[in-house]
Amino acid sequence: EIVLTQSPGTLSLSPGERATLSCRTSQSVTSNNLAWYQHTPGRAPRLLIYGASRRPTGIPDRFSGSGSGTDFTLTISRLESEDFAVYYCQHLGLTFGGGTKLE
């Protein structure tokens, strides 16, 4: 079973700053199978990135994903107030990482 480790656990930033979130997998994975979600308390999770770097329709371009092998990154270029949430990476539509809280 592949384990996803996200870091940092909590990231404290201000609106307008750049956020860089990491997801490391215990084995090399195919980029096509790596996704990122945003979860705001009281709301349903939202798909942000799939295939490691692709944005679904409607996701702002300040969200970007990159990486390959075992190391993947979600970058939010300029934080807006609604971006403060918990972010999860996921492999193969199954296992989630432990999450990074952006506060």
Partner 1 sequence: QVQLVQSGAEVKKPGASVRVSCETSGFRFSIYGFTWVRQAPGQGLEWMGWINVYNGDTNYAQNFQGRVTMTADTFTKTAYMELRSLRCDDTAVYYCARNSGGGYQDHWGQGTLVTVSS
Where do contacts with partner 1 occur on this chain (CB under 8 A)?
32-33, 35, 37, 39, 44-47, 50-51, 56, 86, 88, 90, 92-99
- Least gap, CB of 16 to partner 1 (angstroms): 27
- Least gap, CB of 46 to partner 1 (angstroms): 7
- Dihedral pair phi/psi, residue 81, rounded to 5°: -60, -35
Q: Which residues pair with 36 in a beta bridge?
A: 49, 89
Which residue number, 82 or 92, has a Cβ lying nearer to partner 1? 92
d(CA 65, CA 76): 9
CA dihedral for 41, 46, 48, 52, sign (positive or negative): positive
Decide: 84 and 76 in contact? Cβ < 8 Å.
no
Which residue number, 13 or 47, has a Cβ lying nearer to partner 1? 47
Which residue number, 16 or 93, has a Cβ lying nearer to partner 1? 93
- Least gap, CB of 87 to partner 1 (angstroms): 11
- Least gap, CB of 85 to partner 1 (angstroms): 12
- The single-letter DSSP state of residue 82 is G
